[in-house]
Structure 1
Amino acid sequence: MTTPLLEVCNLSIGFGAADPVVRDVSFRVMPGETLALVGESGSGKTISCRSVLRILPETAQIRSGTINFASASGPTVDLLAIKERAMRAIRGDQISMIFQEPMRSLSPLHRLGDQVAEVLTLHRNLSHTEAKKSVLETFERVGFPDPARVWKSYPFEMSGGMRQRAMIAMAMVAKPELLIADEPTTALDVTTQAQVLGLIKDLQRDTGMAVILVTHDLGVVANMAESVVVMNKGRIMESGPAAAVLGAPAHGYTKKLFAAAPTIPQVANPVERTKSADNILELRSVCKTYTMRAGGWRAPQKITACHQVNLTLERGKTLAVVGESGSGKTTCARIALGAEAPDEGGHVLFRAEANAEPLKIHAMTPAERVGFQKQAQMVFQDPYSSLSPRMRISQTMTEPMEIHKIGTKAERREKAEEMLSWVGLDPSMLVRFPHAFSGGQRQRLSIARALTLNPVLLVCDEPTSALDVSVQEQILKLLEDIRDCMGLSYLFISHDLAVVARIADEVAVMRQGVVVEQAAPDMLFYNPRHPYTRALIAAQPTPDVNRPIDLNLVSQGAGSPASWPDEFRFEGVAAPALTELAPGHKVRCHV
């Protein structure tokens, strides 16, 4: 029998005098195998994996257990018993980890290329030139279109998805024996996710690398894992081969996870919808170009974030903008909220009430801006970054009302308590700080804060991307209920088509700054015409081991626009017009 590469036995971890947060956890990983740790936020997945690398918080105590690592290049060692110097030689070289939050894991003061190359200079003694060559090759393999530009960029110059790709490159560049991937694709769009999962599989074939995959996405598990361990509240609920656990889950908790997983519906016939003339928001001929400094004597480089975007949001409806990281989705959202000005010739119109004179968002006076900010609010992708860690929730919730001079102190407190109840949180939580909440609760707080001013328009920027499936289900249900009760209109930014299929009335698919296809969800999923839309649908993982992701179809649509079929091909921003091929179904193609 083959010796396990990693064997965790009876691991228990606690904090202070409290009960253990991880209790008697045992699992093993064979060489070349992929083991998936599945469970909700707070189930103990991440802290169990961090104990392998001994990077737990200072207050954490390992109360029992052993973690044996059988490297091909040395004897079997107990990672909890060896000295720190020996552990440093293993950490980052033989065992690497991809962290969930790249902005908190990457140094903001160093260029990405130098940070990734540091692994090779420390553990492989490569020269700077050799390390740079290897890093650029790895950048290309994880899907960066311009590796040289990424090499000299700082983390803050990259989007969330791009930073996650850099983290993945850092973990993989040394070709470790064991890769611990903590939600490695949570912040990635589905096409990049499919390519990254394919990349991990390729590296496993090339190097025999084993993988521990920490995830809440059962579709990812079905495509990657040979074995599955399901955790809840620090205990293992169910474990076994992936086909058995996913095909016939025995534990009630595993069944609950399956029931909450969003999927793209199989629609037999598209439903025709009539368009209303009551539009709350319109983007007309919106373009946005940024100038990026090239350094030295080189001329500044112009980057087009979005080009000739025309979007219309009906009152009381949800318009979803879908696309990969860097496609221009968030730029459009910022322009819609007046946080960015469109290039000359672009117009953004907002009507707070039906048949009212439109407000030109791109040309507001200071007084108009104050009024508009009360009527349009944003729910951000990362609630931890958008909530001040130094302010109690009571201050966070009442601050918007104080800024706009709404109500007395008692009335503001009462409104804050009411909004917390709306989002399913107890008003007694107002005395807490943000760090005392889980990810799903913090996202609820962000929604509650946005609702305190009674807006009519809510812009949601990836509000569920970092949440596990059961919490995601709760947040989507909450957003639907609030929209219907308050008559809100949503501009919903996402890369997850399963989420969009559930909540949206209209979907616009963006790629490299232009809208390539636009239709109602059932029409779009029933009859996708553009190669990129087809790639997005093909890349959506499903929790079925018999339906793997078709990487060939994904790579065709997710490739360069110059490689698409003649009907859809374009280069740069010289794209064909958006043409209505059927009532309500627009596709960017040559007619």
Structure 2
Amino acid sequence: MTPLLQVDALKIGFGTAPAVVEDVSFDVMPGETLALVGESGSGKTLTCRSVLRILPEAAQLRSGSIRFDGTNGPQDLFNLSERAMRKIRGDRISMIFQEPMRSLSPLHRLGNQVAEVLRLHRNMNRAQSKKVVLEQFDRVGFVDPERAWRSYPFEMSGGMRQRAMIAMAMVAKPELLIADEPTTALDVTTQAQVLGLINELQRETGMAVILVTHDLGVVANMAQKVVVMNKGRVMESGSAADVLGSPAHGYTQKLFNAAPMIPEVATPARAMEHDDIIMDLRNVTKTFTMRAGGWRKPVTVTACKDVNLQVVRGKTLAVVGESGSGKTTCARVALGAEVPDEGGEVLFYPGDGADPLPVHGMTPMQRTAFQRQAQMVFQDPYSSLSPRMRIGATLTEPLDIHGIGTRAERREKAEEMLGWVGLNPEMLKRYPHAFSGGQRQRLSIARALTLDPKLLICDEPTSALDVSVQDQILSLLEDIRDRADLSYLFISHDLAVVARIADEVAVMRAGVIVEQAPPDTLFYNPQHPYTQALIAAQPEPDISRPIDLDLVAKGAGAPTTWPEMFRFDALEAPALRELEPGHLVRCHA
């Protein structure tokens, strides 16, 4: 059988510098999934973008060839005219980009952006394209496809934007789908459903997939072939069974050793005494009013309801749940970026016998002191780093605002922070666009640590990182927590990460906490169907243990479909009940 795509001896460079992609070759057969695996900055994304000829302007295709043998016969993609390439992009070859906020237009509604693909390549009218897009939105996990159609990207969470990006790439049913970290911003249940959707489309249409990822569990569930890259070169390639079953190269073995997994045996939890609290969220409810468009009435959305959480000093409270469950809203309320509805409050305890401070009722002086002690690592590093500021200015700006140190001392602190997150101090002169997605996330973490805070709110801090850097960052966060008595409110959809770092875990679904317990209880004795689905959806780097999609669908469905003991609708949820000491479950008596 003739390969659908042939990449031969590809070489890419910038200016007069040595090549950043060197002698990369691989074939993709029709209906096959090939995984490109490697650390951030290894050249995976550049290799894939060269297929669609959407490389950065300064990039040079120095040598090599890429041939695409689709329905129109074999074509040399490097020598096609730009007009011919436009007919291929988005139609015969589609790409899911890693950063949806950067790839989606902020000025157009999501529905119109996705429907544009069908109007350009399938000549569909507005009514026809809307019907197809709404079906696709439903398949990628939007609870309310009509609302998603009307929404702008900035009105959606990071995971929701990624779902729209996936729908845009798949709506035209391409012959080849290039998926660049397609599930990093998604919770594990949605990830499992999206991976199942890609597999389903492959069976229906014979679509081939190039999967760029650092998640070996995703590779084990999706790929037939694996290509491992490091520093722009291929380290190892072969069938998924051979590479995952017995990795031969030392670099591949390193990736496996760094991959986080839920331990098979429960580890004893650190003692949790709730008498020394640093932050207390009490009865926090937050509603938003969304524009409905036209003459329709605005829609009220409850992001979170009656949330009660306590962050213990020197400990880590993890909040786990799917995209749109209210996790990030709780974090923003905790930092004072959002005001809770009437009846809710957030108290911050500075320590040393000081009285608690109401986060939403502070004086300007108290606010400044609070902002120095409480920092946040945001989910989207590209949006949170100013594209007009060099990294040196970005890292020293918090110190400058709070009047800490001399200019030389601030720069020294910035260099120290870069070293902590595994980056070179020489990078201080660069702008954010010169870094990969994983490197930008490391920079965000470094900036949050420059003020030596006491409370760090981490919103998906490792979602964009490859496994080896993720392991490094988690070790760093653990070391800082223990050495500096730092406290974490840790938001994540990766249960393996949570199992490693958390002292207590709260599971959120549909804006409410459905289960809360220490990790050694929650992961090995889950009671709620949604918690069970989260655990079942966690991919493992073992091709003999695929994700159980039926179990995932059962727990990840609407709350009205759960077993009667746990069932509730948006307005009437049962209370959190203590089934055993320290183990709270939202269920009917």
Counterpart selection for 1:249 from 227, 235, 247: 247
Contact 1:267 1:525 in 2 (8 A): no
Once the two structures are superposed, residues 146-200 of structure 1 have per-residue CA deviations (whole angstroms, 9 ceiling, x without a partner) of 1111111111111111111111111111111111111111111100000000000
State the partner residue of 1:240: 238
Q: Look up the SS of the partner of 2:22 in the other structure.
A: strand
Shift in Å, 1:497: 0.5
Unaligned runs of 5+ in 2: none
Change (3 A) 1:427 1:501: same
Across the aligned residues of Structure 1 and Structure 2, the Cα RMSD in angstroms comes to: 1.7
Partner of 2:580: 582
- Given that residues 158 and 379 in structure 2 are in contact (C-alpha distance below 8 angstroms), is that contact kept between their aligned partners in structure 1? no
- How many residues get paired? 589
SS, match of residue 457 in structure 2: strand
Structure 2: how far apart are the matches of 1:589 and 1:323? 17
Distance in 2 separating the partners of 1:22 and 1:269? 42
Taking the aligned partners of 2:52 and 2:284, their CA distance within structure 1 comes to 48
Paired residue secondary structure (1:255): helix
In the alignment, residue 325 of structure 1 is paired with which amino acid? S
Aligned pair in 2 of structure 1 residues 244, 60: CA closer, same or farther (>3 Å)?
same
Q: Distance in 2 between matches of 1:68 and 1:429?
A: 37
**Deviation per CA, 1:358-401, whole angstroms, max 9, x where unpaired?**
11112222222122111111111222322222223332222222
Q: Which runs of 5+ in 1 are unaligned?
A: none
Q: Whole-Å Cα distance in 1 between the matches of residues 210 and 413 of structure 2? A: 45
Which of 168-177 and 422-431 deviates more? Answer: 422-431
Report what 1:342 is aligned to. Answer: 340
Determine the structure 2 residue equivalent to 1:92. Answer: 90
Counterpart in the other structure of 1:26: 25
**Is 2:158 aligned against 1:160?**
yes
* Structure 1 residue 270, shift from structure 2 partner: 6.1
In structure 2, the partner of 1:63 is: 62
Partner of 1:17: 16
Correspondence 1:231 to 2:237 = no
Higher alpha-carbon deviation: 517-526 or 450-459? 450-459
Query: After the TM superposition, which residues 103-142 of structure 1 pair with which residues of structure 2 at under 5 Å, given as runs?
Result: 103-142=101-140
- 1:464 partner letter: T
Deviations 1:521-547 (A, max 9, x none): 111101011000010000010000000
Contact 1:307–1:573 under 8 Å retained in 2: no
What residue in structure 1 maps to residue 282 of structure 2? Answer: 284
Query: How many Å separate the matches in 2 of 1:218 and 1:386?
Result: 28
Give the aligned residue type for 1:85: R
Aligned to 1:390: 388
The CA distance in 1 between the partners of 2:418 and 2:115, in whole Å, is 46
Closer/same/farther in 2, CA of residues 429 and 135 from structure 1, 3 Å limit: closer
User: Hey, what does 1:502 align to over in structure 2?
Assistant: 500
- Aligned pair in 2 of structure 1 residues 175, 317: CA closer, same or farther (>3 Å)? same
Show the counterpart of 1:200. Answer: 198
Query: Deviations for 1:182-230, whole angstroms, at most 9, x for unmatched residues?
Result: 1111111100000000000111111111111111111001001111111
Residue aligned with 1:305, SS: strand
Segment of structure 1 superposing worse, 322-331 or 73-82: 73-82
1:112-511 correspondence runs (5 A): 112-268=110-266, 271=269, 273-511=271-509
Q: Which residue type is aligned with residue 459 of structure 1? A: I
* Aligned residue identity for 1:485: R
After TM superposition, the score normalised by the length of structure 2 is 0.97
TM-score (norm 1): 0.96
CA distance in 2, matches of 1:106, 1:163: 8
> d(CA) in 1 for partners of 2:518 and 2:307?
17
Q: Distance in 1 between matches of 2:222 and 2:438?
A: 26
Please list the CA deviations of residues 291-338 of structure 1 after superposition, one character each: whole Å capped at 9, or x if unmatched: 112223322211001001010111100111111111111111111111
Match of 1:80 among 53, 78, 81: 78
The CA deviation at 1:422 is 4.2
SS for the counterpart of 2:360 is: helix
Q: Describe the SS at the equivalent of 2:461.
A: coil
Residues 121 and 510 of structure 1: is their aligned pair in 2 closer, same or farther, counting only changes over 3 Å? same
Q: Which amino acid aligns with 1:27?
A: F
Distance 1:242 1:4 in 2: 18
In structure 2, do the counterparts of structure 1 residues 204 and 377 end up closer, same or farther at CA, with 3 Å as the change threshold?
Answer: same
Deviates more, 1:74-83 or 1:199-208: 74-83
Matched residue, 1:38: 37
Change (3 A) 1:76 1:92: same
Instruction: Say if 1:189 and 1:495, in contact at 8 Å, map to a contact too.
Output: yes
CA deviations 1:134-156 (Å, max 9, x no partner) are 11111111111111111111111
Q: Could you tell me which amino acid in structure 1 is paired with residue 65 of structure 2? A: T
CA shift digits 1:445-494 (9 cap, x unpaired): 32332233232111111111011111111111111111112111111111
Letter in 2 for 1:102: P
Q: Which amino acid aligns with 1:177?
A: E
Deviation at 1:432? 3.5
Residue 411 of structure 1, CA deviation: 4.0
Does the CA-based 8 Å contact 2:303-2:329 persist in structure 1?
yes
Q: 1:60-104: CA deviations, max 9, x gaps?
A: 222222222111x32211111222222222221111111111111
After TM superposition, give the deviation of residue 240 of structure 1 in Å: 1.1
Shift, 1:31, TM fit: 1.1
Aligned to 2:3: 4
Distance in 1 of aligned mates of 2:449 and 2:30: 51
Structure 1 residue 573: Cα displacement? 3.3
Q: Please say which of residues 55-64 and 328-337 is displaced more in the overlay.
A: 55-64
Q: Aligned partner of 1:185: which letter?
A: T
Q: CA deviation at 1:272?
A: 8.2
In the alignment, the residues of structure 2 paired with residue 83 and residue 36 of structure 1 have an alpha-carbon distance, to the nearest angstrom, of 29
Verify: 1:50 aligned to 2:46, yes or no: no
- The 3 A distance-change label for structure 1 pair 473 and 12 is same
1:362 aligned counterpart, secondary structure: coil
Distance change >3 Å, CA 421–CA 223, structure 1 → 2 = closer
User: Which shows bigger deviation, 565-574 or 22-31?
Assistant: 22-31
State the secondary structure of the residue aligned to 1:284.
strand
Is 51-60 or 92-101 further displaced after alignment? Answer: 51-60
Query: Per-residue deviation at 1:424?
Result: 4.5
CA offset at residue 356 of structure 1?
Answer: 2.6
After TM superposition, give the deviation of residue 427 of structure 1 in Å: 4.4
- Identical pairs, percent: 76
SS in 2 for 1:229: strand
